[in-house]
Chain A
């Protein structure tokens, strides 16, 4: 088989000519098969069921194989999108998987949680004509799932070992990506993880119904097969400092410790029992399996749950609470639907599952019962005012207008701050005013052998941007180590 990735390859031209662009444009975008809302909101089953081979083939035909594919400019890990899609069209799915894995360490993960509508798909030629983009994300997921289920999973080629030890701090999407890239280049990579499980936010944060842990596990196993070592229960800066690790032979570091610290609002009564951060709630349920009686960690099973916030984590929290048997789950957000930062798909899924949206409301006080457990929340009614510097209309309180809601559990999901643990333990690493690590465009910190990326630099972003950082940092770390 010709496995050239060139657009001029004979096979590729043949495929292109097999159907006219007009006919390709006329095909309707595929619809993802989803589990019925009233069934899925009582179970952890994955909501999106993936495409069938027929669906994927037809969707692949929609791709025009543009000479200057704009979609690729929207991909932080530079996946060769047309090449993998055209491989699907010619039926070489394993080859498509190989193309994706050339630049992406976690295809099955990205195919599920990456906001493609804001990345690659937003640049698709179809959108210029007012049509929906090629479903690149669905096709990526199809390819990764096909390869995994084929039993012929290919491990990316690894350069001969160069004997140089590098450390990755944190095993979330940025860390795993950097580890994979460095392993490919022949480095001896160790990933240090503070928690007892590898995967970071992919494990503790994103729920099973959106990203099954078994899928994350397969991607981690692939890294193991590439020679990456994992050290769970190890907090760099506490268990050992970077200096101690330098003495043990580590030549460079990639810090991807995430945006650890949950924000609270600082309003009266917020420390009542039953009020928790989304990090705590999701960690209990996803990482500690608290909803399963077999496991020791407890969790509240609220009946009238309030989740504060409008991001993807808030959506994960409302949908989790519904699955744990809540009668009412309210999503309280201080702006309107248009300003909500969550993915449209997540908002749609939450609405279908019976989540009650209370837009333009903002909590100002919690009231507890005599045992200290939250029983009510007072919500300030808001309206939209002038746009802020980013063009997002700011919420303004409607004087004197409040609503009191009965609740027995509240999840606060209003963002996270960078975890100060690493900078505190290593004062030579400079931080910004926000507490994120200072890094150059090459993702090098103020210490030359320390690179950083993901949320510890960005302050709270997406899986794919973190992966993009991991890839970029690896390239620059390699350059740095070669110059030594």
Chain B
């Protein structure tokens, strides 16, 4: 049982929760995720850690309401408990001093797990260019925090309501064409990561993506999260969640992530009807 000590709405459906988890706060590194479960009948869902506060012994999670489980989590309030929080899981991000700049690209709520990676690269002395992309202005999150640890920030919105109009790759190309980029890190919806990977491949920029596939246990036991990377089957939970973007079979991953779509949609309708 983990107490929620702070909650903030980034937008109607995107919520930040600060949760007591002193051990995880201490042992987590950039790139790690946790598995959370809300209620005794709840599902185990993976969420990448967006930050931690060692003094308070808390971790920060950002979740977007898309179905039953994410709604149950985002409906919780300060003073409520998350039934289970376990982690930190997965491999931490490899942070090395780079010659050129590091291009950090976040789409939608993907900016939340990207933030610790931006901060870690900055702390390692790297020049950081961040690209934040979303459908519209309201969905751009954590901009101030990203700015604090970035040398340059490019904002892209699909509708042009904020920053520049266009998809994430437009901003990425602008950065790649203007200076030497040693590495790109991309976190966001699978389809965004797929096109971002195609973009950096064109320019031969080594790229890392953080995958958020379906999981049950999150410790390597079930294999629900498997993806094909470089022709080999990998488990996102123990081998990842970060992989070489140019090796990931995104089409297979997109299909697999939709495996339970029909059941999930049905369950969400029932959930909303009950509320």
Which A residues contact B (CB, under 8 angstroms)? 194-196, 204, 232-235, 238-241, 258, 260-262, 264, 266, 270-271, 273-274, 276-277, 279-280, 283-284, 288-289, 294-298, 371-373, 419-421
| B73 smallest CB distance to A (angstroms) | 11
Query: Given contacts A239-B86, A261-B235, A420-B220, could you give 19 more A-B pairs where the C-beta distance is less than 8 Å?
Result: A194-B217, A196-B84, A233-B85, A240-B23, A262-B222, A264-B233, A270-B233, A271-B227, A271-B256, A277-B222, A279-B223, A288-B44, A295-B43, A296-B39, A298-B260, A373-B259, A419-B219, A419-B220, A421-B238
The binding surface of chain B is classed by DSSP as mixed
A234 / chain B contacts, CB cutoff of 8 Å: 23, 86
Instruction: Given A196-B86, A277-B222, decide whether A296 and B256 contact each other with a Cβ distance below 8 A.
Output: no
Interface string of B258-270 (1 = CB under 8 A from A): 1110011001000
Going nearest first, the 4 A-B pairs with the smallest beta carbon separation are A372-B255, A280-B222, A296-B43, A273-B259
B238 / chain A contacts, CB cutoff of 8 Å: 261, 420-421
| B244 smallest CB distance to A (angstroms) | 18
- The residue from B37, B223, B256 contacting A280, defined by CB atoms under 8 A apart: B223
Closest-by-CB residue of B relative to A289 is: B41
| A280 smallest CB distance to B (angstroms) | 4
Distance A271 CA – B259 CA, assembled complex (angstroms): 11
B219 / chain A contacts, CB cutoff of 8 Å: 194, 235, 260, 419, 421
Verify A238–B89 contact, CB threshold 8 A.
yes
A270 / chain B contacts, CB cutoff of 8 Å: 233
Verify B233–A266 contact, CB threshold 8 A.
yes
Verify B41–A260 contact, CB threshold 8 A.
no
Verify A196–B222 contact, CB threshold 8 A.
no
Verify B86–A271 contact, CB threshold 8 A.
no
Kindly count the residue-residue contacts between A and B in the assembled complex, taking CB atoms under 8 Å apart.
Answer: 119
B37 / chain A contacts, CB cutoff of 8 Å: 196
Can you report 24 residue pairs joining A to B where beta carbons are below 8 Å apart?
A196-B37, A204-B221, A239-B27, A239-B87, A261-B221, A262-B222, A264-B233, A266-B233, A270-B233, A271-B233, A271-B252, A273-B255, A273-B258, A279-B221, A294-B41, A296-B39, A296-B69, A297-B43, A297-B44, A298-B43, A371-B258, A372-B255, A419-B220, A421-B220
- The residue from B43, B87, B216, B259 contacting A235, defined by CB atoms under 8 A apart: B87
Instruction: Given A271-B252, A296-B69, A420-B220, decide whether A288 and B89 contact each other with a Cβ distance below 8 A.
Output: no
Verify A371–B255 contact, CB threshold 8 A.
yes
B221 / chain A contacts, CB cutoff of 8 Å: 204, 258, 260-262, 279, 283, 419
Distance A327 CA – B46 CA, assembled complex (angstroms): 34
Instruction: Given A294-B41, A296-B42, A297-B43, decide whether A264 and B223 contact each other with a Cβ distance below 8 A.
Output: yes
A295 / chain B contacts, CB cutoff of 8 Å: 41-43
Verify A277–B223 contact, CB threshold 8 A.
yes
Contact residues of B between 216 and 275, Cβ < 8 Å to A: 216-217, 219-224, 226-228, 233, 235, 238, 252, 255-256, 258-260, 263-264, 267
- The residue from A238, A261, A279 contacting B87, defined by CB atoms under 8 A apart: A238
Which B residues contact A (CB, under 8 angstroms)? 23-24, 27, 37, 39, 41-44, 68-69, 72, 83-89, 216-217, 219-224, 226-228, 233, 235, 238, 252, 255-256, 258-260, 263-264, 267
Closest-by-CB residue of A relative to B41 is: A295
Distance A424 CA – B6 CA, assembled complex (angstroms): 34
- The residue from B68, B222, B227, B233 contacting A296, defined by CB atoms under 8 A apart: B68
B228 / chain A contacts, CB cutoff of 8 Å: 271
Verify B224–A276 contact, CB threshold 8 A.
yes
Distance A419 CA – B217 CA, assembled complex (angstroms): 13
- The residue from A195, A239, A271 contacting B23, defined by CB atoms under 8 A apart: A239
Verify A276–B223 contact, CB threshold 8 A.
yes
Verify A279–B256 contact, CB threshold 8 A.
no
A238 / chain B contacts, CB cutoff of 8 Å: 27, 87-89
Verify B263–A298 contact, CB threshold 8 A.
yes
Distance A283 CA – B43 CA, assembled complex (angstroms): 12
Instruction: Given A239-B86, A271-B252, decide whether A296 and B267 contact each other with a Cβ distance below 8 A.
Output: yes
Closest-by-CB residue of B relative to A412 is: B223
B227 / chain A contacts, CB cutoff of 8 Å: 271
| A373 smallest CB distance to B (angstroms) | 8
Verify B87–A283 contact, CB threshold 8 A.
no
| A434 smallest CB distance to B (angstroms) | 16
B223 / chain A contacts, CB cutoff of 8 Å: 261-262, 264, 276-277, 279-280
- The residue from B41, B69, B217, B220 contacting A283, defined by CB atoms under 8 A apart: B217
| B52 smallest CB distance to A (angstroms) | 13
A421 / chain B contacts, CB cutoff of 8 Å: 219-220, 238
Closest-by-CB residue of A relative to B222 is: A280
